[in-house]
Amino acid sequence: MKNHSAPRLKKVAEAEFPTRFGLFRIYGFEGSYGDRLEEAIVLKMGDFPDADAPLVRIHSQCLTGDVFHSLRCDCRAQLEISLAAIARAGRGLVIYELQEGRGIGLLNKLRAYELQDQGADTVEANERLGFDSDLRSYQLPGTILRYFGLKTVRLLSNNPQKVEAVERAGVAVVERIPCLADVLATRRKYLRTKKEKMGHLL
């Protein structure tokens, strides 16, 4: 169920975080909506002086893509494009939301893969499993942007719903920067469904 009030935000940890893209700081956040908790990780590079609109990527966890380099989807490619762009700019944020498979959970995502192998697209597969095609609401990222004092951002995304969610949180998206992965045969149908059924700008 989508919840439309902003969560209460708590930073639970902050530490140095060297990566192959450069040196970040890593943060752990908890957002509470009444008694429901959501978690997010933030990677931050550099500082954001006033009136600076840093690069921001809001990324939803994809274990199969981010960890196992899956070519069924373009998640890892978008994450790498974003981390590289932030490193080139010397500043920016990745907000990594721990909500696997557009909010349906990892094992249900694998069940959806099984249905896709039998011909369903990603939207149909989620619906056949009894889920909305996309359960993500993106309220936690908006609250996190405000935590870092950001009033303007340049958003690394192909998803107009993320642009809307950030603006609903009171943060202006001064530029949307596409994150375009190579179109491979293994994910051509996945990308076409994102474009045709979910309105992504691909």
Q: Which one-letter DSSP state was computed for residue 133?
A: S
String of contacts with Zn ion for each residue 50-89, x by CB under 5 A: ------------x--x-------x-x--------------
Closest CB 179 distance from Zn ion, rounded Å: 13
**Is residue 179 near Zn ion by the rule CB under 5 A?**
no
Crossing angle of helices 139-147 and 160-168, in 10° steps, is 50
From CA 170, how far away is CA 187, in angstroms rounded? 34
**Is residue 92 near Zn ion by the rule CB under 5 A?**
no
Active-site hit among 66, 76, 134, 176: 134
Q: What are phi and psi of 52, to 5 degrees?
A: -90, 135
Alpha carbons within 13 A on the beta-carbon side of 84: 7
Beta-carbon contacts of residue 99 (< 8 Å; ≥ 6 apart): 38, 60, 61, 135, 136
String of contacts with Zn ion for each residue 113-152, x by CB under 5 A: ----------------------------------------
**Is residue 104 near Zn ion by the rule CB under 5 A?**
no
Q: Among this protein's residues, is 72 annotated catalytic?
A: no
Q: Among this protein's residues, is 74 annotated catalytic?
A: no
Closest CB 73 distance from Zn ion, rounded Å: 3
Active centre residues (catalytic): 134, 136
